[in-house]
Structure 1
Amino acid sequence: MALIMANKNKVYTHAIPVIIFVGGFTNNVIPTLILFLKNTQGINTTYAMLLQCLLFTSYFVTLIPSTMLIQRFGYQRTLTFASLFCSISCLMIALIMYLNQNTYLYGAVFLLAFGITLLRLTVTPLLVAIRGDSNYHRTISRIMTADTIGALLSPTLSALWILNTTPDIWFCPWVFFILMALAMVGVGVKCQQTELATQTNNHHITIDGIYQSLQHRDIFRGSIATFTFIGIEFSIPVFIGLLVNEQPQQSFLSPTSMISSYWTLILAGRIISITLLRYFKPHTMIVAGSLSAIAITLFSIALFPDHLAVFLISLGLCNAYMFPCIFSIYTKRLPTELHYYASSIFLLAFAGGAVIPMLQSHLANHIGIINSFILTIVCYFLLILTITTERSPRGVELEST
């Protein structure tokens, strides 16, 4: 194994899944905050969606600082620093919400996003480093379930505090973020206790290096697929929540419960996919899932627009295995010297989680939330095209040196 996790000579198998869980949980606090702003501030969808944009835009801002920190301090200390930075950011959000100064919420959320992104950027090369595992596709799928568990728990739990309308000193927004701050301290302690050793040695990122790496077929196509899919994956639950929030007849469940249901189906599908990957190629599963999602979305918009949200949560099953498959497909054959660049570029492609939801919010303002899901269909077609097209960009392969 290229990746070794040890603590006092004992193998640690749960430190990285814990970090991935934290990332999934924190990312999906954002939809609850969006609903909070919509319900308490009366702002439009586009302005509320800026929170989502801040979360995923942070991948651009964090890339260079993360490489400098890893190069200077190594993976372990960088993970510890990122966890403590997240804790401080959560305390800032708690103070802002306690003082009811929601104007400053955007800045504090961006700082939290910076910390979470730093965690993700640091831990992802460690996942790429285990590509020598004979069951790499299935291993990645298992590890990624931690992200999904965090994602499905987050909306329901965060809503208990953030969307609570009854006066209760223990269940109010600022208490939730204090609890998150304490949890982040715990993650930092765990990171400090865990030693990480990997064959990924190149931690210095340059613009020229990014450009050169993008000449590699798998990195180029993987970044396009990641950009498209992450945009779909995070846009769907947010707009399901917004749809139910504005049209309660869509579901007897609350908006956050619907979001959690979506992520629950993703978890179920991801667990099932661990078995399916024994019999089907990842490419086949992605294409089949995309075609199914297109059919469900078109069918629901055309025939059952008043219950669209209920049908759309089933897209969780279609999306369940896609990112683990995309990640493993486009990192399986990479040479060791490209590990860090590949993982960094794929995480830069998480900006799709900012661009696509923002585009959909503009569509929703003009043609309504229901019809805005046409963009989702277009994105699935783009994903199919990316996965099934084997041509290298400009016919260039990056030489391994």
Structure 2
Amino acid sequence: MIKKFLNKNNNNSTSDTEANSIKRQSYLLPGVLVTTLFFLWGFSYGLLDTLNKHFRNVLDISTTQSTYMQVAYFGAYFVMSIPASLISKRFGYKRAMIFGLLLYVIGALCFYPSAIYLSFGGFVGSLFVIASGLSTLETCANTYIAIIGSRERASFRINAAQAFNGLASTIAPIVASYAFFGGTEDSGSKSLDSVKWTYIGVACGVFAIAVLFCFVNIPEVDEEALMAQDSEASGEIIRRASIYSPHLLLGALAQFMYVGAQVSVASMFMFYTSEVGHMPDSRGSIILSVGMACFTVGRFLSALLLKKFRPDHLMAIFATGAIIADVFVIAMKTPATSYALLVVVFFESIMFPTIFALGTKDLGRNHKRGSALIIMGVSGGAVLPPIQAVVHDHSNVNISYVIPLIAFCFVLFYSLVGCKWIKYTDDIPAGVDQKDVLSIEDEKPAVIQTEHKQTVAF
């Protein structure tokens, strides 16, 4: 299926013929509106981790069973990323985003009957529908933010937009602490009324945003035209990366490993604070929220640092920090080491948006399909947490953090090596007219001469 998708014709039936003449300044307002979507999936993800622990208390499920929610939530990204890309190519970014929002609403409403019947399977199915909508939103929104500005600032833009994702993830556990636990230690109630009404409120809010998007102007984007603008502005020829380029494929794997690590750290966070830190669930939820605040600070800080430093270098530093902090989490067994998890979460902050930007660099008209592959990597959140849960059940929570440690090591490898391994196509580069091409031969270096008499080999 993936190979067929990769070989699909590149023509975009929804590209507006006026897109070539649209200047990037006109994308400011749409970019701001699309950034609000980052808040939505951050809030949803922030609720998930506290919901995980609450279901275990109320429904008497095992640690391994509780990770089924992660499997459904992040597995939806594997299922929906490519369809979301095809929807955006066929119907445009705006309609695809509205479709994703409506899926979110439907999934949230399904929490109502699931809560009434105390059906864990119903909750898992509802989360899958929600995540299908979020997958559509992430595929479209990350791509849109990445390509509406200069290619050199793509990492900065995505990190800045993703900071609002972190902000929502900070707020959500606080809301969950009071909504699910009443702000105190668990009362022992077997009711899920708080969950039911929380998600009804979420559904209403998301539906209002979907209605808003129906009336705002979200201009379509011609990726090739924007690459041509970059080429014209910089005076250099920008080569188009192949959809089979190792930097993209390794980027998808790096995203798989990173998201798996992030979800593993978060899903076991409250188990760690409970078993090692000896904290009640309500306090553990607050500490988790502090962790997400550290994550948000890391997002804003990394966005600022990216104005001065190369994204691959900065991510390598953050990955090294996460590895060192994770080693402390594994090796130490004192209540104070619960706070080492906050350091791990802080250093995670740069990874998702930077991997996305590096992995989709110079894809041009292949950007939608390449973005779908990177977002498919989010499915790592469905694979690594169950593995960590099994390790936890058969050993202890400290040892289970070896799983995210391995993932962080791969992210470090991608920062240092993988992102630089780019394979370019033998297509005519964006911004170069057919008449300016002297020679192009399959699988051989070609020489392209522009009107400015510049000669570039690739």
TM-aligned CA deviation for residue 217 of structure 1: 2.8
Give the aligned residue type for 1:342: G
Deviates more, 1:321-330 or 1:256-265: 321-330
Q: Deviations over 1:18-53 (max 9, x none)?
A: 111101111222112211121112221111001011
TM-aligned CA deviation for residue 120 of structure 1: 1.5
Equivalent of residue 264 in structure 1, options 293, 299, 321: 293
Task: Report the secondary structure of 2:268's partner residue.
Answer: helix
Task: Report the secondary structure of 1:387's partner residue.
Answer: helix
Query: Is 2:46 aligned against 1:28?
Result: yes
Query: Is 2:160 aligned against 1:142?
Result: yes
TM-aligned CA deviation for residue 196 of structure 1: 2.0
8 Å CA contact retained: 2:106, 2:129: no
Give the aligned residue type for 2:407: C
Change (3 A) 1:81 1:314: same
Matched with 1:209 is: none
Equivalent of residue 347 in structure 2, options 305, 310, 318: 318
Task: Report the secondary structure of 1:249's partner residue.
Answer: coil
Change (3 A) 1:72 1:270: closer
Query: Is 2:393 aligned against 1:365?
Result: yes
Matched with 2:136 is: 118
Query: Is 2:359 aligned against 1:341?
Result: no
Matched with 2:13 is: none
CA separation in 1, counterparts of 2:280 and 2:349?
22
Task: Report the secondary structure of 2:173's partner residue.
Answer: helix
Matched with 2:57 is: 39
Give the aligned residue type for 2:382: A
- In structure 2, the gaps of 5 or more residues are 1-22, 225-240, 429-458
8 Å CA contact retained: 1:32, 1:158: yes
TM-score by length of 1: 0.87
Deviates more, 1:84-93 or 1:47-56: 84-93
CA separation in 2, counterparts of 1:392 and 1:30?
35
Instruction: Show the 5 A alignment for 1:236-251.
Output: 236-247=265-276, 249=278
CA separation in 2, counterparts of 1:306 and 1:232?
22
Change (3 A) 1:286 1:396: closer
CA separation in 2, counterparts of 1:293 and 1:145?
18
Matched with 2:378 is: 350
Task: Report the secondary structure of 2:256's partner residue.
Answer: helix
TM-score by length of 2: 0.77
TM-aligned CA deviation for residue 152 of structure 1: 1.1
CA separation in 2, counterparts of 1:300 and 1:66?
38
CA separation in 1, counterparts of 2:419 and 2:350?
24
Change (3 A) 1:310 1:3: same
Change (3 A) 1:293 1:65: closer
Q: Deviations over 1:338-363 (max 9, x none)?
A: 21011111000111111111221111
Matched with 1:205 is: none
Query: Is 2:132 aligned against 1:104?
Result: no
Q: Deviations over 1:40-67 (max 9, x none)?
A: 1222111100101111110122134324
TM-aligned CA deviation for residue 179 of structure 1: 0.3
8 Å CA contact retained: 1:34, 1:51: yes
Counting aligned pairs with the same residue, the percent is: 19
8 Å CA contact retained: 1:20, 1:147: yes
Task: Report the secondary structure of 2:197's partner residue.
Answer: helix
Give the aligned residue type for 1:191: F
Q: How many residues align?
A: 386
TM-aligned CA deviation for residue 111 of structure 1: 1.2
Matched with 1:192 is: 214
8 Å CA contact retained: 2:359, 2:374: no
CA separation in 1, counterparts of 2:355 and 2:266?
20
Across the aligned residues of Structure 1 and Structure 2, the Cα RMSD in angstroms comes to 2.8
Q: Deviations over 1:274-308 (max 9, x none)?
A: 33223322222222222222222223432344433
Task: Report the secondary structure of 1:197's partner residue.
Answer: coil
Task: Determine which structure has more spread, i.e. the larger CA radius of gyration.
Answer: 2
Q: Deviations over 1:234-260 (max 9, x none)?
A: 221221122224455258962221221
Change (3 A) 1:69 1:324: closer
Equivalent of residue 411 in structure 2, options 377, 383, 387: 383
